[in-house]
């Protein structure tokens, strides 16, 4: 931004370029010497008095132009540091003050500003090029003469002395213009071959870019579908988890309630037995034989009430009925005492295994079916199933779930042992093999 502001202050209001050989008018405005000179020449042609292009102050005659040395030095330094001006650092050969050269004449070996370019000879031998700081490459390194000919045998530019009595004597030589003409024809033929090749290359680039866009669009679509798929999977897994936890909690409450009732009955039985034991121990510790013998009939009568008419244990029968409702193995021997009954309580992991496995397999199979349907319908199986998750493992996992689901939901031929085997298989896959 600062550079643009400085450039504006150092620009001539006529040519809109950085000052070259700036001069100051009596009114105080600055211009390039060439620019103000051309302006006054034009005014003289239309019979007007010279004036300042900015403030329009008129002078009876052309005032003396005073060179602004300070502004000239600032402009020259800005030329060297400003990357926008494209200045080559070459000055006009014919200007008394440093003025940037616009062209170089190869024939005259001179650099010219815009003003002197217009004044220079326009003949064919005066060829203009970009400003050149040195013309050494235009001269023969041996004879220090201008290069005027081209040796077709050695493919090099030579001067007149080289062709007459130098190393290229008796060689076939051509003028530079003629040799340049032949070379341009060869280059045009090469260009004719390169142009179709470039067009073909451009066509390939366009096809590849189109393919890249198609891949990007396809990937974006698949990304959306996969994101939606996993969102659905997470929702279904969450619902399945909540269902299983709810079922387990409900069954646990039912089992706990039944077990609580059974425990209460057994506590009552234990209290009754404890009372009888204390009474019998008191009898055993009595010293009076008559009292012991009189209590025998009463004790036998009360003790017999703990058994049913068939000699069975009433409390044991009640415990047996509760245990059957819970699926608990209860071994009952009617010929044993009440306190000798055998109740076998199952391990925690044995509870609800078949029911949980059936619900879980049903939910997982539905999720697996959803995944496989997406693979086949969207055509992304080859893209997604590959590196770490092979199709064989996916099919094996889904097939296993399907087989177990059918077995669990079919006839009751699958024991709890098969359910445990399934959970072992799931644990194996969750360890990282799938």
SS3 annotation, 103-118 = EEECCCCEEECHHHHH
Are 286 and 292 a contacting pair, CB within 8 Å? Answer: yes
Sheet holding 156-158, edge to edge: 156-158, 149-151, 173-175
Give how far the C-alpha of residue 189 lies from the chain's centroid of Cα atoms, to the nearest Å: 47
Beta bridge partners of 329: 344
117 pLDDT above the threshold of 60: yes
Average pLDDT over residues 28-41: 86
Strands 66-67 and 22-24: antiparallel
DSSP 64: P
User: 376-380, long-range: CB within 8 Å, 24+ apart, which pairs?
Assistant: 378/222, 378/225, 380/222, 380/225, 380/226
CATH 3.30.40.10 applies to domain 2-81 = yes
Are 193 and 210 a contacting pair, CB within 8 Å? Answer: no
264 pLDDT above the threshold of 90: yes
The ranges assigned to domains in the chain are 2-81, 103-177, 220-349, 352-433
What is the rounded average pLDDT for all residues in the chain? 73
Are 325 and 258 a contacting pair, CB within 8 Å? Answer: yes
Helix (H) or strand (E) holding 77: helix 69-81
Q: Where are the alpha helices (DSSP H) in 327-409?
A: 353-378, 381-384, 391-409
Helix (H) or strand (E) holding 411: none
pLDDT band at 177 (very low <50, low <70, confident <90, very high): confident
Percent of the chain whose pLDDT exceeds 90: 12
pLDDT one-digit tens code per residue, 66-75: 888 888 888 7
- Count of residues in the chain: 434
pLDDT band at 30 (very low <50, low <70, confident <90, very high): confident
pLDDT one-digit tens code per residue, 335-393: 333 344 455 555 555 556 777 788 888 888 888 887 887 766 655 444 444 444 444 44
Structure token pair of residue 406: 């059918």
Sheet holding 22-24, edge to edge: 30-32, 22-24, 66-67
As to burial, measured by CB atoms within 10 angstroms (0-12 exposed, 13-18 middle, 19+ buried), residue 190 is exposed
pLDDT one-digit tens code per residue, 397-408: 445 544 444 444
DSSP 62: P
Would you state the torsion angle of the CA atoms of residues 390, 393, 396, 399, taken in this order, to the nearest 10 degrees? -60
Are 38 and 32 a contacting pair, CB within 8 Å? Answer: no
Are 312 and 334 a contacting pair, CB within 8 Å? Answer: yes
Could you give the 3-state DSSP secondary structure of residue 364? helix
Measured distance CA(268)–CA(256) in Å, rounded: 18
Q: 192 phi and psi, to 5 degrees? A: -65, -30
Give how far the C-alpha of residue 421 lies from the chain's centroid of Cα atoms, to the nearest Å: 43
Q: 250 phi and psi, to 5 degrees? A: -65, -45
Measured distance CA(242)–CA(313) in Å, rounded: 43
pLDDT band at 331 (very low <50, low <70, confident <90, very high): very low
Could you give the 3-state DSSP secondary structure of residue 23? strand
pLDDT band at 172 (very low <50, low <70, confident <90, very high): confident
Neighbours of 390 (CB within 10 A): 12
Measured distance CA(155)–CA(263) in Å, rounded: 117
At the topology level of CATH, where does 103-177 sit? Double Stranded RNA Binding Domain (3.30.160)
99 pLDDT above the threshold of 80: no
Measured distance CA(396)–CA(404) in Å, rounded: 12
């Amino acid at each position: 931004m600062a550079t643009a502001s400085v450039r504006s202050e150092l620009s001539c209001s006529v040519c809109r370029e950085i000052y070259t050989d700036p001069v100051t008018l009596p009114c105080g405005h600055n211009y390039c010497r060439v620019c103000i000179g051309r302006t006054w020449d034009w005014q003289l042609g239309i019979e007007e008095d010279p004036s300042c292009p900015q403030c329009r102050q008129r002078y009876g005659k052309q005032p003396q132009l005073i060179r602004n040395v300070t502004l000239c030095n600032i402009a020259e330094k800005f030329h060297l540091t400003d990357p926008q001006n494209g200045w080559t650092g070459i000055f006009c050969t014919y200007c008394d003050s440093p003025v940037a050269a616009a062209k170089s004449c190869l024939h005259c070996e001179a650099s010219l500003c815009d003003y002197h370019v217009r004044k220079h000879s326009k003949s064919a031998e005066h060829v203009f090029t970009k400003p050149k700081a040195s013309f050494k490459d235009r001269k023969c390194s041996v004879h220090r003469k201008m290069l005027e000919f081209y040796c077709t045998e050695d493919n090099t530019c030579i001067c007149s002395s080289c062709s007459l009595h130098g190393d290229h004597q008796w060689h076939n030589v051509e003028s530079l213009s003629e040799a340049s003409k032949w070379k341009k024809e060869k280059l045009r033929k090469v260009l004719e071959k390169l142009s179709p090749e470039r067009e073909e290359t451009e066509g390939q680039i366009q096809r590849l870019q189109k393919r890249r866009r198609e891949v990007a669009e396809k990937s974006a679509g698949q990304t959306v579908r996969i994101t939606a798929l996993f969102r659905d999977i997470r929702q279904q897994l969450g619902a399945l988890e909540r269902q299983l936890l709810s079922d387990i909690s409900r069954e646990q409450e039912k089992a706990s309630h039944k077990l609580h009732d059974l425990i209460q009955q057994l506590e009552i039985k234990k209290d009754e037995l404890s009372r009888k034991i204390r009474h019998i121990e008191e009898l055993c510790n009595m010293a009076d034989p008559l009292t012991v013998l009189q209590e025998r009939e009463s004790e036998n009568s009360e003790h017999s009430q703990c058994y049913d008419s068939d000699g069975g244990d009433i409390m044991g029968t009640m415990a047996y009925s509760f245990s059957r409702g819970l699926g608990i193995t209860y071994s009952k021997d009617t010929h044993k005492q009440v306190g000798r009954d055998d109740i076998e309580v199952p391990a925690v992991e044995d509870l609800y295994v078949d029911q949980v496995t059936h619900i879980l397999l049903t939910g997982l199979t539905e999720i697996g079916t959803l995944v496989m349907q997406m693979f086949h319908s969207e055509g992304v199986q080859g893209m997604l199933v590959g590196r770490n998750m092979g199709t064989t493992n996916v099919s094996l996992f889904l097939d296993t779930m399907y087989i177990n689901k059918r077995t669990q939901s079919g006839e009751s031929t699958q024991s709890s042992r098969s359910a445990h085997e399934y959970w072992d298989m799931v644990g194996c896959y969750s360890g990282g093999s799938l």
